Amino acid sequence: MDVLEAIFTRRSIRSFIDREVEPEKIETLLRAAMQAPSAHNKQPWHFVVVNKRSLLDAIADFHPYGKMLYTAPQAIVVCGDLSEENNERYLGLNCAAATQNILLAAHGLNLGAVWVALYPREERILKIQQILTLPQYVLPISLVALGYAQRKVPPENRYNAQKVHVNRW
């Protein structure tokens, strides 16, 4: 799948069949994540691969919009390390770029994925830090739930010419 096809056909997948994701695919996703651009090329990210059912369930239990983790076989939590980038806003932006790379790569590998919001919600950050035993200086920014899709979601054309401004608003 070429990059434009991946961008134009990717959709969030929230229901999964009972099938593990191959470790090679997870490695490809992590490689894709780490190819993302980052401010000053600091690459201040870390990734927690979560494949233990009890941990996935613990996250689903508290996250109001993370209930798909009850059936997703895997997740990757994208974290930002404040000791590597002390500007929290840049940390969030860098990790967002890495997250989008994971979503597009997952789609290209025929996996289903969805971005589950953590940062900047304080209570979610604290819960994930506790469940995954993250150091305090590591902020969980986003979580990507992963697996093989129960069903495909059709592409949606969102192009809106009214959102485009040339030279001035």
Residues contacting ligand FMN: total by CB under 6 A: 10
Upper half-sphere CA count for residue 136 (Cβ side, 13 Å):
0
Nearest Cα residue to 59 out of 44, 74, 45, 47: 74
- For residue 99, what are its two tokens? 């997250």
Alpha-carbon span 109 to 74, nearest angstrom = 15
Work out how close the CB of 11 gets to ligand FMN at its nearest, in angstroms, rounded to a whole number.
4
CB-CB neighbours of 134 under 10 Å: 19
Nearest-approach distance from CB 169 to ligand FMN, in angstroms? 24
- Find the binding residues for ligand FMN in span 66-105 (CB under 6 A): 66
**114 is a contact residue toward ligand FMN (CB under 6 A):** yes
One of 65, 86, 123, 135 touching ligand FMN (CB under 6 A): 65
In this structure, the chain runs to a length of: 169
User: Which residue stretch of 9-17, 41-49, 76-84, 86-94 sits at the interface with ligand FMN (rule: CB under 6 A)?
Assistant: 9-17
- Measured CA distances, 90 to 34, 47, 137 (Å): 15, 17, 15
Single out the segment in contact with ligand FMN by CB under 6 A; choices: 29-37, 44-52, 114-122, 125-133: 114-122
Q: Which is nearer to ligand FMN, 6 or 117 (CB)?
A: 117
